[in-house]
Amino acid sequence: MRALGAPMLGHLDPDLLAMMDETREKLRRLFRAPEGSFAFAVSGTGTAGLEATVANLVTDGTRVLAVVTGYFGDRLAQVCQRYGAVVRRLDVEWGRAIDPARVREALAREAADIVCVVHAETSTGVRNPVAEVAQAAHEAGAIVIVDAVTSLGGHPFEMAQWGIDAVYSCTQKCVGAPSGLAPVAFAPSALARRVTCRSFYLDLGLLEDYWVRRKYHHTISASLVYALHEALTAIEEEGLEARWARHERHHLALAAALSAMGLGLLPPEGERLWTLNAVRVPDGVDEALARRDLLSRFNMEVGSGLGPLAGKIWRVGLMGHSSSPQALLLFVGALESVLRRQGYDVPAGAGTSAAIDALRG
């Protein structure tokens, strides 16, 4: 917040451009991108990152195999279609991860140029095995686009090691900055498969001219660059592995607390995100009332279910700064309180006690 308030620099000011250079380097390290990648931040939110990635790799007739495990996989498939792709969908039951064998089978049946998949499906709390999907895609000669909007900075993400060709994310989740810039990275394998981009604003060549060759393309928000640069510095100070471990620790403590309260998470163990916890709403509980109560009485905002999961889950984010013992314990206590107010019987203090034990262990 302090970085946001720093005096404004012009979009071609050498000091801002130097900060943008450092931001590119920091993003390359955050994505663990391979040598020769182009990592930078698109002006706009995560959806702008999505669209920039697609707009530079998809054109009329591009064959896309879209793994759809929820709302955001569907969005990615839709955007590919808008840019002219022939999209084949691999739909998976909401709440479950893709089995990479299905990707392999689908590609054996019919070839594709691109496989796209969401790493952390925010609508269901599911983590997809993107390394295995990428391997299946590469074996069949396709490249892979990955949505890392809810994983970057919270879950291990190894672009080079996993062979991810192109990836986009956002700033407002586990990176811990305000929304408004979308980190993206293109590996050399993706840069080699660029198409003529129909969008002027999202054209990779023009954006490279600006970010690398200092040629005016658009007037970037200096304040958002300061904030992202500061957030990336904070990530490096904490250490990426330590940050991933923190997100895992608080997720596991929440899972233990929910279990002690007789509540459950939607995805099975092994497919769960650490960053977004999809909590099943127990029978007889008014989920919207509980959310309103959490917000008005405890200043805690949780998400509702989307699409087929509307009314069935709460989506509890433990991301970036909010993946903390303070937020976790306050949430567990607050949830117990709002459930009791609705007459839903929760063993007194069991959630808090289980979370404290988990945090101690």
Ligand X SMILES: Cc1ncc(COP(=O)(O)O)c(C=O)c1O
Neighbour count for residue 251 (Cβ, 10 Å): 25
Q: Among 90, 170, 190, 265, which residue interacts with ligand X (rule: CB under 6 A)?
A: 170
User: What string marks each residue from 207 to 246 as x (binds ligand X by CB under 6 A) or -?
Assistant: ----------------------------------------
Q: What are phi and psi of 276, to 5 degrees?
A: -130, 115
Q: By the 8 A CB rule, do 184 and 39 touch?
A: yes
Provide, rounded to whole angstroms, the least separation between the CB of residue 182 and ligand X.
Answer: 7
- Name which of 125 and 163 has its Cβ closer to ligand X: 125
One-letter amino acid of 178: P
Residues 45, 180: Cα–Cα separation, whole Å: 5
- Percentages helix, strand, coil for the chain (3-state, rounded to 5) are 45, 15, 40
Q: Which of residues 175-194 bind ligand X (CB under 6 A)?
A: 179
Among 17, 46, 249, 309, binds ligand X (CB under 6 A): 46
- Write out the binding residues for ligand X, residues 257-286 only, by CB under 6 A: none
45 binds ligand X (CB under 6 A): yes
Of 43, 122, 124, 277, which lies in the binding site for ligand X, with binding defined by CB under 6 A? Answer: 122
Residue nearer to ligand X on the CB measure, 123 or 352: 123
Taking the complex as a whole, the smallest distance from the CB of residue 38 to ligand X amounts, in Å, to 20
Name, in order, each residue with C-beta under 8 angstroms of 212's C-beta and a sequence gap of 6 or more. none
Q: Are 217 and 209 in contact (CB under 8 A)?
A: yes
If one asks whether residue 47 binds ligand X (CB under 6 A), the answer comes out as yes
CA dist 28 → 49, 56, 88, 181, 241 (Å): 15, 19, 31, 15, 16
**Cβ at position 106, least distance to ligand X in Å:** 22
Q: Where on the chain is the footprint of ligand X (CB under 6 A)?
A: 45-47, 50, 72, 118, 122, 147, 149-150, 170, 179
